[in-house]
Each structure stands twice: as C-alpha cells, then as structure tokens.
C-alpha cells in the first residue's frame, strides 16, 4: 500500500508539473494582451479632445483679431509720431538760419519795427518748435506703449497657437484610437483612417458654406490657401509615383514620391510638429502645422527624431524615407491640408529646376 501511495504521489506530481508547463506556455500570450478600453470611454475622450480643440481655436481667433487690431493702432501711432518728427524737423530747419545769423552778428535790423517783427516771428517759431517737441515726445511714448502691447499680444497668440497644436494632436490621436476600437470596416485602409481623423479635427463652422469663425473684428484668417514665396519645398527629390486622387475606388488624399529607401525627407514650409506616430500600412507619420490652419502630412517614414512641439524650418530634415505600402516600393507619402481639407500638393510645390 505504501508503494502504491508513493507511485500515485509521483504520478500526481508529474501531472501537476505538466499542467504548470502548459500554463506557462499559454501564459505569456495572455499576459501581454493589452487591456481592452471600452468604446464609450474612447468616444468620450475624443469628444473632450474635440471640445478642447474648438476652444483653443476660438481663443486663437480672438487673439489673432486682437493682435491685428493692436498692429493697426501701432501703425497709426507710429504715423502720428513720424508726422510730429517731420514738423519738428521743419521748424528746426527754419530756426537754424536765424541762429546762424545771430552767432555771426549779421542779424541787425534797419529800424525798430523790423526788429520787432523779426522778434515776434522768431518767438512764434520757438514756441511752435517747443510744442512740436512735446507732441513728438508724447507720440513717441504712445508708439512705444503700443509696440509693447502689440508684442505682448503676439506672445499670447504664439502661446495660443501652441495650445491649439497640442489640442489638434490630441484630437487626431483620439480619433485614430476611436477607429481602432471600432469594428473593422471593409475597404478602409490606414490611409483612409488617417484622412478621417484629420477630417474630424475640422472646425464645425468650416463645413457651413465656407464660413469660418471670426474674431472680434471679423479676422478669421484667409479662406484661400496662399503658399510661401517660391512655393512649397518638395519633401524629397523623387518622381510622382501616385498622384493626388481624392475620389474613386482607391481614393488618395495626397501623392506618393518614389525615392530610394533612407532618402532625406524635408519640411515643405516652416512649421511645428503637431503629431507623430506609427500606422500600419503608412509607417511613421508626421504632421506639421503652419500658420493659418495649414497642415502638411508626411508618411511612409522609416525614422524621425522630432517630437510634438518642435519647430522645423523650410527644407529642414524631418526624417528618412521608408517602404510605401501604396506602391509596394520605397517612397514618401505627402499631403497638403488647408482648414483640414486636402489640396492637390502638385499645384503648390515649387517648380523644379
């Protein structure tokens, strides 16, 4: 009986060890599985991100209007100061010959009446010059105060734009997470998901017959895209492998440039990084924000060292090209968006020489 019990004990131990081994083999697959975020929580976070973006853009519009108003006031104050400076210069020029004559001893009148007239005229010029000098100093002080107010408004506007950039990045990233948690939709690739996320960041008023939210004095920014002088810089020196095709079965909101893998990719214009991430089928994606609600999108990047908030000059290096799923070859995907609406980049890129 003792041997039988001992054998049963060893058999049980062997079975338990086998069970533990099976659990250990199956365990890692279960352990690395990320927790599922409820769709309602993701949707609520996305609504909050969009509300924050709308608030930030409204603040930027008001700050832009205030900066424009202070800029106009400053221009008027400086014009008044310059006018007083010219008047003072003219009076000083009229007084100088009299002073020169007095120093030379040549200012001797023939009679008392002539001397009296000269004295009255000279005194009136001196009084006018004194009043003009006081007016010039007051105008200069007002212009200096106006310049300080304009500069302070410009700093507030810059801070507001940075806040709007952060809110934009959160809205785009939130919409992408929302799309990831949603049920798979046939025919929608990562490029379409990115386009939908960017469209979701558009202001509600932009969809109303081209009406944009206005600031205090109606300044809402340009309604027509204006490229920088000389046009947009080419992100990379390659031929257009796939053109802009916003409609059709294989809709494309940008174009694809065929370039060797590892080629430098540069910024099309001065901008700030507002989004960077990785999407399956698009590789690394980077979005730059430019003034007046303009964005450029760069995808199929193999690498980038930039982070959200960094400033990039025109033709500044933003990364390296990688594999482009759209062409099944190395390349760069590039989009141009104005008020979150996709434009044909080929119409605005600089002419190659």
Query: Which residue would you say has higher pLDDT here, 304 or 96?
Result: 304
How much is the average pLDDT of 186-202? 67
Q: What is the CATH number of the domain that holds 327?
A: 2.70.70.10
Of 138, 169, 200, which one is at a domain's C-terminal end?
169
Domain assignment of residue 281, yes or no: yes
- Residue 139 forms part of a structural domain: yes
Q: Which has the higher per-residue pLDDT, 11 or 329?
A: 329
Please tell me the predicted confidence (pLDDT) of residue 62. 85
Per the structure, the complete domain to which residue 53 belongs is given by: 45-169
Domain boundary among 169, 189, 219: 169
Residue 342 shares a structural domain with residue 261: yes
* Most confidently predicted of 35-44, 58-67, 101-110: 58-67
What pLDDT shows up at residue 322?
92
Is position 308 within any domain?
Answer: yes
Of 259, 273, 266, which Cα lies nearest the Cα of 234?
Answer: 266
Tokens of 204: 């509600």
Is residue 190's pLDDT more than 90?
A: no
pLDDT at 32: 38
Q: Within this chain, do residues 148 and 58 fall inside the same structural domain, yes or no?
A: yes
Return the pLDDT at 213: 44
Nearest residue to 181 (alpha-carbon basis) of 42, 58, 327, 300: 42
Same domain, 159 and 63: yes
Going by pLDDT thresholds of 50, 70 and 90, the confidence category of residue 219 is: very low
Q: Which of 339, 350, 341, 337 is nearest to 299 (CA)?
A: 337
Answer whether residue 308 shows pLDDT above 90. Answer: no
Do 334 and 248 fall into the same domain? yes
User: How many residues in total does the chain contain?
Assistant: 353
Task: Summarize pLDDT for 160-185 with one digit per residue, the tens.
Answer: 878 877 888 787 777 777 676 664 55
Residue 313 clears pLDDT 70, i.e. is over it: yes
**pLDDT in the model for residue 230:** 80
Lowest mean pLDDT among 93-102, 143-152, 178-187, 275-284: 178-187
Condensed to tens digits (0 to 9), the pLDDT of residues 46-85 reads: 778 778 888 887 888 888 888 888 888 889 888 988 988 8
* Residues 90, 84: Cα–Cα separation, whole Å: 10
What does the pLDDT average to over 104-129?
Answer: 69
Residue 22 lies in a domain: no
Query: In terms of domains, do 62 and 158 share one?
Result: yes
289 in a structural domain: yes
pLDDT of residue 28: 44
**Whether residue 260 is found in the same domain as residue 165:** no
The verdict on residue 29 lying in a domain is no
Q: In the chain, which ranges are continuous DSSP H helix?
A: 2-31, 39-104, 112-181, 190-200
- Within 10 A of 8 (CB to CB), how many other CB atoms are there? 10
Whole-number percent of the chain with pLDDT over 70 = 71
Q: Is 193 in contact with 282 (CB distance < 8 Å)? A: no
Is 341 found in the same domain as 243?
yes
Residue 94 lies in a domain: yes
Which of 117 and 84 is assigned the larger pLDDT? 84
Residue 256 and residue 162 share a domain:
no
What pLDDT, in 10s, does the model give residues 222-273? 677 877 788 899 999 888 998 888 876 777 888 999 999 999 999 999 998 8
Strand, helix or coil for residue 142: helix
Quote the number of domains for the chain.
Answer: 2
The mean of the pLDDT values for the chain is 76
Query: Of 169, 198, 227, at which residue does a domain stop?
Result: 169
pLDDT at 217: 43
Percentage with pLDDT > 90 across the chain:
16
Tell whether the model's pLDDT for residue 106 goes beyond 70.
no
Q: Are both 79 and 161 inside the same structural domain?
A: yes
What is the reported pLDDT for 7? 56
Q: How far apart are alpha carbons 153 and 169 in whole angstroms? A: 24
> 63 with 162, same domain?
yes
Does the residue 91 lie in any domain?
A: yes
């Amino acid at each position: 009986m003792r041997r039988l019990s001992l054998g049963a004990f060893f058999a049980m131990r062997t079975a338990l060890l086998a069970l533990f081994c099976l659990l250990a083999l199956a365990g890692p697959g279960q352990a690395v599985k990320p927790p599922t975020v409820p769709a309602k929580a993701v949707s609520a976070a996305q609504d909050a991100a969009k509300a924050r973006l709308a608030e930030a853009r409204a603040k930027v519009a008001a700050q832009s209007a205030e900066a424009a108003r202070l800029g106009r006031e400053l221009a008027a104050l400086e014009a008044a100061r310059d006018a007083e400076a010219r008047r003072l210069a003219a009076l000083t020029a009229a007084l100088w010959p009299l002073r020169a004559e007095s120093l030379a001893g040549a200012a001797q009148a023939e009679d008392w009446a002539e001397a009296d007239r000269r004295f009255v005229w000279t005194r009136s010029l001196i009084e006018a010059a004194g009043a003009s000098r006081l007016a010039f100093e007051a105008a200069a002080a007002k212009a200096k105060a106006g310049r300080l107010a304009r500069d302070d408004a410009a700093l507030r506007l810059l801070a507001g734009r940075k806040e709007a950039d952060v809110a934009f990045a959160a809205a785009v990233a939130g919409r992408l997470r929302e799309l990831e948690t949603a049920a798979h939709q046939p025919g929608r690739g990562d490029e379409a998901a990115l386009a939908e996320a960017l469209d979701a960041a558009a202001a509600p008023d932009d969809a109303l017959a081209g009406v944009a939210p206005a600031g205090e004095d109606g300044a809402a920014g340009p309604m027509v895209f204006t490229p920088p002088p000389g046009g947009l810089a080419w992100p990379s020196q390659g031929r257009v492998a796939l053109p802009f095709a916003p409609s059709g079965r294989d809709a494309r909101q940008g174009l694809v440039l065929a370039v060797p893998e590892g080629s430098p990719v540069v910024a099309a214009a001065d901008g700030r990084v507002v989004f960077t991430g990785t999407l399956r089928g698009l590789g690394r994606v980077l979005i730059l924000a430019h003034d007046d609600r303009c964005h450029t999108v760069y995808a199929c990047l193999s690498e980038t060292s930039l982070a959200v908030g960094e400033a990039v000059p025109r033709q500044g290096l933003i990364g390296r090209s990688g594999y482009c799923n759209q062409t099944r070859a190395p390349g760069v995907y590039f989009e141009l968006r104005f008020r979150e609406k996709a434009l044909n980049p080929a119409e605005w890129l600089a002419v190659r020489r």
